Chains A and B, each alone.
Chain A
Amino acid sequence: MNGWTLTATVALGAGVGATVWGVATGPLRRRVVAQNLSSALACPGLLLLAQGYGRPAYIDLALVLALLGPVGTLVFARLLADDLAEDPPHAWGVTFAVAGYGAVVVLVLCAVTGPGRAMVKLLVIGALLIGGNLVASRALSGGFARSRRG
């Protein structure tokens, strides 16, 4: 157990635990937001675990999650579009807080890794993670409703 794995454990336990609770209870608008945030919280946790165990190959898990998490949210946004239009979620505060947490984790890991291909890979993962989650959050709150034609 070192600082990386400790941080990852706390983030996964408290953050992902809270999102599991959010997904399982409450109104639909809270459940979809919690589902979106669960991948945004788990991805930095995987990055921290990869650093903590000294296994750079584990970073690929975070890459896959950063790519597929927002895609999964977009599927929910599409399937539940009618229900969400009646009661759209507005959770930008917590969304930006989680995005900021992801940015801090990626930047700290970049500083530790140093310049090179590994750092570019981390930045690509960070861009996918934060950009994907902001786009997915906007889709959930009906931000792309005007582009839904036919």
Chain B
Amino acid sequence: MDAQTALRGALEVLLWWAGLTVLWLVLISTVDTLEWVVGASAALVGALAARAARRAVGGR
């Protein structure tokens, strides 16, 4: 894996992470620090899974 591929992968995970965290914060009723921590953690797991799933579907 060269530097460009790694950078593109990190960028993709970062975009998924941001999008999923925003989705979490939109869907809950009250936003506080604990929800931020739990939401960001769950969104990071989801972001890694999303990238893995997209690569599996794309066949790369």
Residues of A within 8 A of B (CB): 56-57, 60, 63, 117, 120-121, 124
Q: Which residues of A contact B27 (CB under 8 A)?
A: 60, 63, 121, 124
Q: Does B26 contact A (CB under 8 A)?
A: yes
Contact assessment for B29 and A124 in the assembled complex, using a CB-CB cutoff below 8 Å = no
Contact with A along B31-42 (1 / 0, CB 8 A): 100000000000
Nearest chain B CB to A135 CB, angstrom units: 15
Residues of B within 8 A of A (CB): 23, 25-27, 29, 31
Nearest chain B CB to A116 CB, angstrom units: 10
Q: Which residues of A contact B29 (CB under 8 A)?
A: 56-57
A60 to B23 alpha-carbon distance, docked (Å): 14
Contact assessment for A117 and B23 in the assembled complex, using a CB-CB cutoff below 8 Å = no
Q: Which residues of B contact A121 (CB under 8 A)?
A: 26-27
CB nearest neighbor in B for A125: B27
Nearest chain B CB to A70 CB, angstrom units: 18
Nearest chain B CB to A51 CB, angstrom units: 16
Interface-central residue, B23, B25, B26, B31, by most chain A CB under 10 Å: B26
Q: Which residues of A contact B26 (CB under 8 A)?
A: 117, 120-121, 124
A60 to B27 alpha-carbon distance, docked (Å): 8
Residue contacts A-B, CB under 8 angstroms, 13 given:
A56-B29, A57-B29, A60-B27, A63-B27, A117-B25, A117-B26, A117-B31, A120-B26, A121-B26, A121-B27, A124-B23, A124-B26, A124-B27
A150 to B39 alpha-carbon distance, docked (Å): 38
A91 to B23 alpha-carbon distance, docked (Å): 33
Nearest chain B CB to A59 CB, angstrom units: 9
A56 to B29 alpha-carbon distance, docked (Å): 9
Nearest chain A CB to B11 CB, angstrom units: 24
